[in-house]
Chain A
Amino acid sequence: MSNQNVKSLDVSAKTVDEAIEQGLAQLQLRRDQVDIEVIKEGKRGVFGIGAEDAVVRLTPRSRPSAEQAEQKAPPQPPADNQPAEAPPATTPVEEVARRHLGALLRYMGIKAEIKVKSAPELVEGNEEAPLVLDITGRDLGILIGRQSQTLRALQYILRLMVSKEMGSWQPVIVDVESYRIRRHQSLRRLAERMAERAVANKRRVVLEAMPAYERRIIHLALKDHPAVYTKSVGSDENRKVTIIPK
């Protein structure tokens, strides 16, 4: 099948990934030989109700022969519109982090699995999504600890180990059963609710003591709020975010 005269091809399937796969098969091209545009993300729906197929448009990159494509060595970095389900290539950092974390857990006597993912929900705006190692298994509360102290210790040690081996600072994130992601979301909701209360009562609201990165989430959540500003008061373990009506 010649792809020289094919301008572009729209394919629909259940998921973006499937659509891309089918399209590539039809065009007999590899992923790095086409430009992929996601036209519709598609929806899963509930029990098939409201489900919508994903649609992608594949446009073969103009290039005289397949041989030349072979020489174009580095694979294209994933485009922004690439679906999250696409299996990410294993990076060296990921490998090193997984190995060290696996060993730590084993020596700690913890039976668990490590899932690697990227978590765009953990960062603000266009910061790069960090590499997250999520530990999953039973009875892992012990790995989180009071005020997530144990989880932070685990992340700190792992970052040191990985950074040492890689020779550069690697801000990998360690999570347990998606605790950080859930906590992040609940802190943002808390920030909104308490800001409303501060405004309604025209009084400052003092939140419970939190570790630095949790306070940061609150500060960031309210930084553009029209009617309140935030400030941390107290020291060390006792530092609390205060929401103050303007």
Chain B
Amino acid sequence: MSSMKELVEYMAKAVVNDPDSVIVREIEGSNSTIFELSVTPDDMGRVIGKQGRVANAMRTLLRVAAVKEGKRVTLEIV
């Protein structure tokens, strides 16, 4: 059993300066799940990274969890 929401939260909280304002919303669709990650404006750069490197790495790892659950997922930073 994987816990995709916790995964996103855990990754985000560990790279930002203000972990308390990390919020992850899980939006279940019929065949895919969207995770919306929000952080304080100051931390946006930290969860996105240069050329989106951090966000893409988080997506890659989230995809592993999704494959394990047989789901399609997207991660959006809002």
- Main SS class of interface, B: helix
Contacts of A150 in B (CB 8 A): 60-61, 63-64
- Are B7 and A108 touching (Cβ within 8 A)? yes
Of residues 86 to 100 in A, which have CB atoms within 8 Å of B's CB atoms?
A: 100
- Main SS class of interface, A: helix
Q: Which of B1, B56, B58 contacts A109 (CB 8 A)?
A: B1
**B22-45 near A? 1/0 per residue, CB < 8 Å:** 000000000000000000000000
A152 to B57, CA, bound (A): 8
On whether A104 and B68 interact (CB within 8 A), knowing A157-B58, A160-B54, A161-B15, the answer reads no
- Are A103 and B10 touching (Cβ within 8 A)? yes
- Are A109 and B54 touching (Cβ within 8 A)? no
On whether A108 and B64 interact (CB within 8 A), knowing A156-B57, A157-B54, the answer reads yes
Which stretch in A10-18, A30-38, A64-72, A141-149 binds the other chain?
Answer: A141-149
Q: Which of A110, A154, A157 has most chain B Cβ within 10 Å?
A: A157
Contacts of B67 in A (CB 8 A): 142
A/B pair count, beta carbons within 8 Å: 65
The answer to whether A47 has its CB under 8 Å from any CB of chain B is no
Contacts of B72 in A (CB 8 A): none
- List, sorted by A's number, 29 A–B pairs whose CB atoms are closer than 8 Å: A104-B7, A104-B10, A104-B11, A104-B61, A107-B2, A107-B4, A107-B7, A107-B65, A108-B61, A108-B64, A108-B68, A109-B1, A109-B65, A109-B68, A110-B68, A142-B67, A150-B60, A153-B58, A153-B60, A153-B61, A154-B60, A157-B15, A157-B54, A157-B57, A157-B58, A160-B15, A160-B54, A161-B15, A165-B14
Which A residues contact B (CB, under 8 angstroms)?
Answer: 100, 103-104, 107-110, 142-143, 145, 149-150, 152-154, 156-157, 160-161, 164-165
